[in-house]
Amino acid sequence: MISEKRCSELVPCEEALGYKFNNIEILNKALTHKSYAYESGKQTKDNERYEFLGDAVFDLMVSEYMVKKFPQYQEGVLSKIRAVVVSETSLAEIAKKLNLGEFILLGKGEELSGGRKKPSILANALEAVAAAIYLDAGFEKAATVLLLNFVDSIDNAAVTSKYQDFKSELQEKTQLKLNTVPNYKVVGNSGPDHDKTFEVQVFIDNVPYGFGVGKSKKEAEQKAAQDALGKDNLPF
């Protein structure tokens, strides 16, 4: 059993998460770093097993959201976006916004070395908290509570070209199925030299299949390839 003092200390954490635990001891365990458990003795369990489970919860939660939100994206693109969203850097930033570092139980050495602000500790704690909500109320509740913290980063990653490469995907498919490669042509541009907008058409075997507009030729080509991949009349 945890003390009444610790229970009261965790109330602001529940408020930040937007979830009240049925079993507050699960949250306490999720916020117990191994350094604290080691100093406290064998009876205190750390959060490392919860981290493992929470990683799986985040993977499924983010994957489910993306599959529903972005039906046009192939597995490779979805994997790249998910890797960015559930990276240590991303998780640590979310943990900071939730002030999770304030509630972590740390050993004296880790406390003195600034452990509450370490990205690895914050990210791991957030994974453990995800597992705690899952164990306390199930996956659907965990996803409902936690997904709000991820939507912006998922959506931003999904529209950032460095996380996806539609040109490569289209080329791989045309080479495999048709033994040819797409051809991109600039079919129009507008604006002054310092702020041009380009219009690009992609052709497969001299037949136009996709159109894209961008502030650079590369961006317009990516959008043209994306447009082509979404067409039902592709010859493969």
Is 110 part of a structural domain of the chain? yes
Arithmetic mean of pLDDT, 184-196: 90
Q: What is the pLDDT of residues 102-142, one digit of tens each?
A: 999 999 999 999 989 999 999 999 999 999 999 999 999 99
Same domain, 205 and 220: yes
pLDDT at position 163: 52
Q: Which of 84, 87, 89, 86 is nearest to 159 (CA)?
A: 84
Beta-carbon neighbour count of residue 130 at 10 Å? 26
| pTM score | 0.69
CA–CA distance, 26 with 3 (Å, rounded to integer): 14
Is 234 part of a structural domain of the chain? no
CA–CA distance, 57 with 208 (Å, rounded to integer): 42
Q: How confident is the model at residue 164 (pLDDT cuts 50, 70, 90)?
A: low
Same domain, 95 and 123: yes
Same domain, 220 and 104: no
Which residues form the catalytic set?
Answer: 55, 127
What CATH number does the domain containing 192 carry?
Answer: 3.30.160.20
- Domain that residue 183 falls in: 165-229
Assess whether pLDDT exceeds 80 at residue 159: no
Same domain, 120 and 12: yes
Of the candidates 110, 138, 161, which is a domain's last residue?
Answer: 161
Assess whether pLDDT exceeds 70 at residue 197: yes
